[in-house]
Structure 1
Amino acid sequence: MKRVLTALLLGTAALLCAPASSARVAPPSAPARAAQAPNVVVILVDDLGWPDVSAYGGKDVSTPNIDRIAASGAAFSNGYVAASVCAVSRAGLLTGRMPMRFGFTYNINDEGDEGAGLPTSEKTIAERLKPLGYHTGAFGKWHVGAQDRFYPTNRGFDEFFGFLAGETVYVDPKTPGIVTTPTKADAGKPPFETRRGNGVVIEGPERRKVDNFNRYLTTEITDHAVDFIDRASRGKQPFFSYVAYNAPHWPLQVPQEWYDRFAHIKDPVRRTYVAMIAAMDAGVGRILDKLEERGIRDNTMVVFLSDNGCPVQFGFCNDAHPWGAGKFTYLEGGVRVPFLFSWPRAMKPQGIVDTPVSSLDVLPTILHAAAPKQAMPRELEGQDLIASAHYKGPDSRLLVWGQAPVFAARQGQWRLWRSDDWHQTKLHNLAQDPWEKTDVSGDHKAEAEKLNRAVEGFAKSLPAPLWKLHFTRKVMIDGRETEWVY
């Protein structure tokens, strides 16, 4: 586990020209596209740290099926999400906009934020694809609103199977063959014995309760995603499948057969987390297998990414790597995630690509492919992933994040972190200090001032949050004192 991926940490980043937190700028020209609208599968996983995908060279966890996406496309080593916490990040992916721009600033608390959700004024990927003739389905974790107006089948999805909360129990812990492992954050507490509230698994527009508490939820999500692809591929419509695994999010539960494969990992918490990743990876394999079986893999766009980094408080993150943890923070490990993309008909394999990309790029890429002659909606902020995969230009893309009171910005090797309530601003040189431990703002005032101006402009442009900040907290992550925002 104590292994730092030095070659990747110090690799040269080739950056794009449009800031992810500003109006969309035309990216470099992409290669010629397929004439037929592609099918689209977006696989979003939960709390998966950057180093725990073996496509990037890590050895702790083998993810052969996720790696298949990279083998036929690209593994972006500088892949980012819109926020370092679940609900906010998902809102960015689904809309192609920084969520803070429409007041979706803070996470949704399952019990204390009644009425919080993705505003109906913001169109989801599914709502943009439906008018283009797509059949759409969502499977797994939703977490962008539980009320009817936010419900998936009212937000462009024809089908839904999953749960609406931020977390739920994978399976009844009394089920034979299931390992449930307490973490240092909940040691001594009894495991969940049931699913409650918005953690109950439901399906369809009627919100039918699904009686499946004796079956492992990761497998259940895969089953429904595979069935959807099988049925949709027999029709004449292109399809969009949003597969939102809650793995490997806490609580830590996994079938014994997967746990047994990692006997060499002595820490049961880390072992369970790794086994959960492996079980999820097998589900990704089944999805890819179904696409190949149906003869549609070449013209299916597959995107794989995590919603944020790994949460250090549970004790299962890869603490040998600077990007191995950071959920709730604006260290790199909070927003820099595994991010893989493939569309064989339109893009040849590119391997590891250092060009920075954002989850905000997913929607523009899909729309460009589905309707290449239509003008891109001006409110979208991202760029085309295929153009990014081929880009060899200068380091110039600006990325800005923020959930007040904490903000961050990155351009090239320079990364700025700012806390308004701590009255601190720090500048780090990622090429020399990927752990973000040495503040060099005093020696590089121009770079610090430039990024701070970008943060200030972003912060001043935002509307008031639609619901309140829950709390901030001082935390230590791998020797780095930083601030949580929730």
Structure 2
Amino acid sequence: MKPWITLIAAVMLSPLLRSAEKPNILVIIADDCTHSDLSFHGGQNAKTPHLDAFAKQGTVFERAYLGMAMCAPSRSELYTGRLPLRNGCAWNQATSRPGTKSITHYLGDLGYRVGLAGKTHIKPRSVYPFEEVPGFDENCVRDPTLPHDLEGSRKFITRDEKQPFCLVVALTEPHAPWVMGDASQYPPRSLKLPGYLADTPLTRQSYSRYLAEVTYMDGQVGELLEMLEKTGKAKDTLVLFTSEQGAQFPGCKWTNWDLGLHTSIVARWPGVVPAGRRTPALVQYADVVPTFIEIAGGKPEPKDFDGTSFAAVLRGEKDTHREYVEGMHNNYPEGPPYPIRSISDGEWRYIRNLTPERIYIEKHLMGRTEHNPYWGTWVFSSTEKPKHLHLVERFINRPAEELYHTAQDNFEHKNLANDPAHAAVKARLSAALDRYLKDQLDPGAVLDTPEAFQAAQDLKPNFPGKE
């Protein structure tokens, strides 16, 4: 064979050869970053040059979700491939069931070393035995965040050229308090407030500080990607960025609305994941570990997971995955019990508030004025401003059922649950939610009580949910 033919063949085959090998994996997690605030998801304010460039180099998932809009449950789902009730972490600050396997076990069995830098917010150690990688602050509410250092991450990924790595870098921005970054980049009066916020001076000041932290987080992402390039690992590494749940604003975190459960996922893997692509495939955090197992050469067993691999979507072979994504919320101990369950097909969202006779209270949003001073201004201004009244009432008074055409009503402000024109959609989603609750052995409202929370921590025999 002529040399030039051999060269062309080698060039054409190289992506296929790389895809057949075990890639390195780098997962970068932002903390409490509303997906729609990012410019590549339509945000009009945040300056994120590194993420914008990264999104063009990979595939953007337009419809990615998590099962609970709280830190501990969302991360437990991401790391185990099991929904919150099944892995045991169905409350914030909760503990996963001993015996549950996580990404550390699954990829470790496939020959990976698996490390975590930054925020943990997961327990127990037996379920999440990550190698501890120094360099990023573990405390998401520290004021200010400790300076970060990439040396620990660099040493981890270069330590053994023969062994693939999986490194999770869990950043603490833009979690409140919003104290990092340069807020002068975001003059409050110049901001284009999204429709889920009441327009008051204190809201604008808080949103300005939040955006500064988004930009600070973007800078950290840029540093990590640059480190990957300088170490020569970029071409052989699948990088997955995700924004976790929505930010600590009313209607985002601690809800089952789209702003809470919808997350950003962007994946880059040169030669394997198509660049400059956007996919409408419906995926959930529980699908990530099975995906990693498949691309690492393993075979995820359906009995072990609530998710399934979307590796075919990553490779650009498909643009569909799930039929539905499921959501839940147990409010205790972040406030008095207020259980919520939901389901979405990416187009429509159906929500059940299991105790609609109560008012919804979230103590961080409504009580910690040092983090969220704007809430009182929403209430005070609601006397004269109908939109502010709507936002306040919507947040604290929930009907038994909610139905939103999310694709047309992005912030889900128009409840269509009682509209006869959409009765068939509601019935379809309600039946799908019933099937999900049955599969997860979800007992409903009794789960969101101090007693159930304590039973889960004590791992009493009557603790519900699938093993």
Q: Compute the TM-score of the two structures, normalised by the length of structure 2.
A: 0.71
Q: Which has the higher contact order (CA 8 A, sep 6+)?
A: 1
The aligned counterpart of 1:225 is 153
Q: Distance in 2 between matches of 1:269 and 1:163?
A: 22
Displacement of 1:141 in angstroms is 1.1
The aligned counterpart of 1:252 is 178
Q: Distance in 2 between matches of 1:243 and 1:223?
A: 13
Displacement of 1:263 in angstroms is 4.6
Unaligned runs of 5+ in 2: 1-15, 191-203, 331-338, 357-398, 452-467
Could you report, residue by residue, the CA deviation over 1:160-210 in whole angstroms, capped at 9, with x for unpaired residues?
A: 446766x43143xxxxxxxxxxxxxxxxxxxxxxxxxxxxxxxxxxxxxxx
Question: What secondary structure is seen at the aligned counterpart in 2 of 1:444?
Answer: helix
The aligned counterpart of 1:457 is 435
The aligned counterpart of 2:284 is 358
Could you report, residue by residue, the CA deviation over 1:274-304 in whole angstroms, capped at 9, with x for unpaired residues?
A: 1211111111111111111122212101111
1:117 pairs, out of 83, 89, 95, with: 95
Q: Distance in 2 between matches of 1:238 and 1:396?
A: 29
Task: Answer yes or no: is 1:413 the counterpart of 2:347.
Answer: yes
Question: What secondary structure is seen at the aligned counterpart in 1 of 2:85?
Answer: helix
Displacement of 1:126 in angstroms is 1.4
The answer to whether the Cα contact below 8 Å between 2:244 and 2:264 also exists between their aligned partners in 1 is no
Q: Map residues 153-192 of structure 1 onto 2, 5 A cutoff.
A: 155-161=128-134, 167-171=140-144
The aligned counterpart of 2:125 is 151
Q: Distance in 2 between matches of 1:303 and 1:448?
A: 34
Alignment-mate amino acid for residue 214 of structure 2: I
The aligned counterpart of 1:478 is none
Question: What secondary structure is seen at the aligned counterpart in 2 of 1:220?
Answer: coil
Change in Cα spacing, 1:346 to 1:106, as seen in structure 2 (3 Å) is same
The aligned counterpart of 1:446 is 424
Q: Distance in 1 between matches of 2:138 and 2:302?
A: 28
Change in Cα spacing, 1:419 to 1:66, as seen in structure 2 (3 Å) is same
Aligned length: 367
1:337 pairs, out of 263, 284, 288, with: 263
Identity of matched residues, %: 28
Q: Distance in 2 between matches of 1:386 and 1:326?
A: 29
1:278 pairs, out of 215, 220, 224, with: 215
The answer to whether the Cα contact below 8 Å between 2:179 and 2:209 also exists between their aligned partners in 1 is yes
Could you report, residue by residue, the CA deviation over 1:304-327 in whole angstroms, capped at 9, with x for unpaired residues?
A: 1122111215xxxxxxxxxxx511
Task: Answer yes or no: is 1:139 the counterpart of 2:112.
Answer: no
Q: Which has the higher helix share?
A: 2
Q: Distance in 2 between matches of 1:394 and 1:44?
A: 24
Q: Distance in 2 between matches of 1:235 and 1:224?
A: 16
Q: Map residues 425-440 of structure 1 onto 2, 5 A cutoff.
A: 425-440=401-416
Task: Answer yes or no: is 1:370 the counterpart of 2:296.
Answer: yes
The structure whose Rg is larger is: 2
Displacement of 1:463 in angstroms is 5.5
The answer to whether the Cα contact below 8 Å between 1:103 and 1:464 also exists between their aligned partners in 2 is no
Alignment-mate amino acid for residue 422 of structure 2: H
Displacement of 1:74 in angstroms is 0.9
The answer to whether the Cα contact below 8 Å between 2:284 and 2:307 also exists between their aligned partners in 1 is yes
Q: Distance in 2 between matches of 1:406 and 1:468?
A: 9
Q: Distance in 2 between matches of 1:248 and 1:223?
A: 22
Q: Distance in 2 between matches of 1:221 and 1:333?
A: 32
Alignment-mate amino acid for residue 378 of structure 1: K
The aligned counterpart of 2:252 is 326
Alignment-mate amino acid for residue 155 of structure 1: Y
The answer to whether the Cα contact below 8 Å between 1:102 and 1:463 also exists between their aligned partners in 2 is no
Displacement of 1:432 in angstroms is 3.1
Change in Cα spacing, 1:375 to 1:170, as seen in structure 2 (3 Å) is same
Displacement of 1:348 in angstroms is 2.0
Question: What secondary structure is seen at the aligned counterpart in 2 of 1:340?
Answer: strand
The answer to whether the Cα contact below 8 Å between 1:399 and 1:410 also exists between their aligned partners in 2 is yes
Question: What secondary structure is seen at the aligned counterpart in 1 of 2:238?
Answer: strand
Alignment-mate amino acid for residue 421 of structure 2: D
Q: Distance in 1 between matches of 2:429 and 2:26?
A: 35
Task: Answer yes or no: is 1:37 the counterpart of 2:15.
Answer: no
The answer to whether the Cα contact below 8 Å between 2:133 and 2:152 also exists between their aligned partners in 1 is no
The answer to whether the Cα contact below 8 Å between 1:302 and 1:341 also exists between their aligned partners in 2 is yes
Change in Cα spacing, 1:59 to 1:440, as seen in structure 2 (3 Å) is closer
Q: Compute the TM-score of the two structures, normalised by the length of structure 1.
A: 0.69
Q: Distance in 2 between matches of 1:77 and 1:41?
A: 20
The aligned counterpart of 2:165 is 239
Q: Distance in 2 between matches of 1:253 and 1:272?
A: 7
Q: Distance in 1 between matches of 2:253 and 2:235?
A: 34
Question: What secondary structure is seen at the aligned counterpart in 2 of 1:450?
Answer: helix
The aligned counterpart of 1:294 is 231
Displacement of 1:40 in angstroms is 0.6
The aligned counterpart of 2:324 is 398
The aligned counterpart of 1:211 is none
Task: Answer yes or no: is 1:95 the counterpart of 2:95.
Answer: no
The answer to whether the Cα contact below 8 Å between 1:41 and 1:303 also exists between their aligned partners in 2 is yes
Displacement of 1:364 in angstroms is 1.3
The answer to whether the Cα contact below 8 Å between 2:23 and 2:238 also exists between their aligned partners in 1 is yes
The answer to whether the Cα contact below 8 Å between 1:127 and 1:157 also exists between their aligned partners in 2 is no
Question: What secondary structure is seen at the aligned counterpart in 2 of 1:309?
Answer: coil
Q: Which has the higher strand share?
A: 1
Displacement of 1:421 in angstroms is 0.9
Alignment-mate amino acid for residue 351 of structure 2: W
Q: Distance in 1 between matches of 2:433 and 2:17?
A: 36
The aligned counterpart of 1:381 is 306
Displacement of 1:430 in angstroms is 2.1
Change in Cα spacing, 1:33 to 1:292, as seen in structure 2 (3 Å) is closer
Q: Distance in 2 between matches of 1:450 and 1:221?
A: 50
Alignment-mate amino acid for residue 88 of structure 1: P
Could you report, residue by residue, the CA deviation over 1:206-247 in whole angstroms, capped at 9, with x for unpaired residues?
A: xxxxxxxxxx43x42655434433x33x53211111111111
Q: Distance in 1 between matches of 2:302 and 2:415?
A: 39
Displacement of 1:409 in angstroms is 0.8
Displacement of 1:365 in angstroms is 1.4
Q: Distance in 2 between matches of 1:284 and 1:395?
A: 28
Q: Distance in 2 between matches of 1:144 and 1:395?
A: 28
2:92 pairs, out of 107, 116, 120, with: 107
The aligned counterpart of 2:243 is 306
Displacement of 1:354 in angstroms is 2.1
